[in-house]
Structure 1
Amino acid sequence: MPANKYALIRYRVIDRCVGNKYRPYPDIERIQEKCEEALGKTVSRSTIEKDMNAMKNDGALGYEAPIAYSKEYRGYYYTEPDYSIQDVPLSDEEIDAIKIAANTLSTFRDSGPFKQYSSAIDKILDRVEISSSAPEIELEELIQFETVPTMKGNEHLSTLFGAAREHKTVEFDYGSYRKSGSKKRKVDPYLLKEYRNRWYLIGWSHDKQKVIIYGLDRMEKLSLTKLDFVSDPDFDSDVYFKYSIGITANDGQSPQDVEVRVDNLLAKYLQSQPVHHSQELTETKEGFLLKLKVIDTYELREKLLGYGNQVEVLKPASLRAEIKDQLQKTFKKYAK
């Protein structure tokens, strides 16, 4: 935990102690004790005194805290009774909500463009850790977040983010999972999109003369060029992915009406977490009927195959035949 983070926590603790109307005029020993409880380490008297001086006089902090010492009560108080460095009072419920959001955000703190905001994320986490008046229970004891592994290619995020913002063309070597080797690509970066913990670049390919999706994990030797670009006014990311499940987008394909029979258990899951915004789920005599309006993509087939015997693809015939073929191939592997 860096020094500035310790100081931020101490400032908040001092503010709570000095502004506590139910136990006013805390002496320096009480403030010191509370700071040590919050940090889990020893804090010197001189550090507390320097902190209070900084809260009063440090223009960079901007607190201008009206802290004064009462000789009569032998403790500290605010000359402005309603003052607090916490400009926006929060309820315990609001603090809990911010804790959850901040911890979710913290999973990206070390990824590319988010690194520059890691200090801000730390400040949010520090603030909510000591703002609650409720008994402290570690968030990790009650809520467990998915651990996001560091994926190859995340190191390109910052460069691509900056290039997209500044409208600068980029160059990189791009490899294929199907073929060995790589090819040089020149791309105008339009959009960064995350899917299943992997990052993708959507941009205008100078070689293909159309919008292409690139996986960051397959990029090497990424560099900025001196070329400026103007985005295609016809490109709309919302429209581009409107009929997609996953990262594969509409590349001239027309969306299809997909119908799938699902069992009762899966239907309940789909009701709580739809697979696509076009989803319609209706109950029939044979069970539940799932309707989607999507393009036929690898991710769609992967999802349907993942449901196993809980689903039966009815329409279109081409998708039904593809799923059937894949299941037959899988059966042959297990039939040996």
Structure 2
Amino acid sequence: MPQNKNAMARYKAIDERLRRKDYPSLQSLVDYVSQKLDKRVSVRTIQKDLCDMRYSEELNFHAPIGYDYFKRGYYYTELDYSIDRLPVTEYELEGLEIAINILEHFKEIPLIKQFDEAIHQIANAVKISRERLSKAQGMLHIDLPAKYAGSKWIEPIADAIIKRYWLRIEHKSYQRDDSLEYRLAPYHIREYQHRFYVVGASRRKDQQEQKVRIFGLDRIQHIWPTNIPFDIPEDFEPNRYFANIIGISNPEKDPERIELWFDAQQSKYIINQPIHATQEILEQNDAGCRISLNLVINHELLMLLLSYGAHVKVLEPPHLALQIKEEARKLLGLYA
């Protein structure tokens, strides 16, 4: 890539001028680029830029720039050429096809749907035909819900995150019959198990206390934008905030060291696909494996451990083992 942003700005200006197809002279290119950049550019710089656009492997433009001695000006020998239509390899085309195919799975989300035409314009820019995209649509399947409840709120929340202004939201939790109004400074949108959540500084309408809260978008009833600005704290980083949890709840609790034993059948999957980035293998033999995790103990972790059934045993901490035991007792009672 070019060594600085001014170089790319010059390339774009040269490309724009050549696409007028009126055979600009070298001096005309110098004047045009200088005007675009609002500063004087030398003849030698533009000469080097023309050479780089033609031959630089790093840029990979391979621009078909010719010089007409009769008209005394430069032109593109390929009439429809532009550096915005960059050549790509077959491997890169396949990668883009897969990326577009993945986005197709999320097209019912309004924020994605509105960019459908833009996505296809990008595909056209790199010469991927709609027929080729159509053939690629079946190559990958992602198991998704029929609809994302609350997805209509993604766009106004994302807009507030970008513009940094507070929102008023009406939220109704599953634990209450009535809804409450909150002031929300949204920091981050997160997806977990086909549900979207927003994380941000919040306070209830009738309270002054402010703290970081997480709201499920499917429980938001209304959103009203405001023009009140906010700043995201410099120490808030989403991946770090959720670094030691499974799921979405209680990220501010202290993580605990957890030891689990998986039997031989399940251990193969656990070793090949770790439960979490903090997973360490402490012991492994023909009978199974013992692992450790450093996680917040929350509802999502409990549900995950219960999903393994009799293939897992909690070794540490004792209070987590008791929680699993109690849930197992309740489950057994349903079939007594």
* Structure 1 residues 274 and 324: alpha-carbon distance in aligned structure 2, compared to 1, 3 A threshold: same
Distance, in Å, in 2 between the alignment partners of 1:171 and 1:324 is 42
1:1-336 mapped onto 2 (5 Å cutoff): 80=77, 87-125=85-123, 129-130=128-129, 138-207=135-204, 208-251=209-252, 253-285=253-285, 286-335=287-336
Where does structure 1 lack aligned partners over 5 or more consecutive residues?
1-64, 67-78
Distance, in Å, in 1 between the alignment partners of 2:129 and 2:272 is 35
Shift of 1:151: 1.7
- Cα-Cα RMSD: 2.9
Q: Does the 8 A contact of 2:187 with 2:200 survive in 1? A: yes
* Structure 1 residues 125 and 274: alpha-carbon distance in aligned structure 2, compared to 1, 3 A threshold: farther
SS in 1 for 2:245: coil
- Once structures 1 and 2 are overlaid, which stretch shifts more, 324-333 or 97-106? 97-106
Distance, in Å, in 2 between the alignment partners of 1:241 and 1:137 is 37
* Structure 1 residues 104 and 142: alpha-carbon distance in aligned structure 2, compared to 1, 3 A threshold: closer
Q: Does the 8 A contact of 1:113 with 1:161 survive in 2? A: no
Q: Deviation digits for residues 184-213 of structure 1, max 9, x if unmatched? A: 111111111111221111010123411000
Distance, in Å, in 2 between the alignment partners of 1:82 and 1:196 is 50
What letter corresponds to residue 94 of structure 1 in structure 2?
E
Shift of 1:239: 2.3
Q: TM-score, normalised by structure 2?
A: 0.69
What letter corresponds to residue 311 of structure 2 in structure 1?
Q
Distance, in Å, in 1 between the alignment partners of 2:114 and 2:133 is 30
* Structure 1 residues 141 and 164: alpha-carbon distance in aligned structure 2, compared to 1, 3 A threshold: closer
* Structure 1 residues 83 and 276: alpha-carbon distance in aligned structure 2, compared to 1, 3 A threshold: same
Distance, in Å, in 1 between the alignment partners of 2:119 and 2:134 is 20
Q: Deviation digits for residues 76-121 of structure 1, max 9, x if unmatched? A: xxx9369756833333333222211111122233424334422222
SS in 1 for 2:115: helix
Q: Does the 8 A contact of 2:111 with 2:154 survive in 1? A: yes
What letter corresponds to residue 273 of structure 2 in structure 1?
Q
Shift of 1:172: 1.4
Q: Does the 8 A contact of 1:102 with 1:124 survive in 2? A: no
Q: TM-score, normalised by structure 1?
A: 0.69
What letter corresponds to residue 102 of structure 1 in structure 2?
I
Distance, in Å, in 2 between the alignment partners of 1:137 and 1:217 is 32
- Once structures 1 and 2 are overlaid, which stretch shifts more, 87-96 or 190-199? 87-96
Distance, in Å, in 1 between the alignment partners of 2:180 and 2:139 is 48
Aligned length: 257
Distance, in Å, in 2 between the alignment partners of 1:305 and 1:212 is 27
What letter corresponds to residue 277 of structure 2 in structure 1?
H
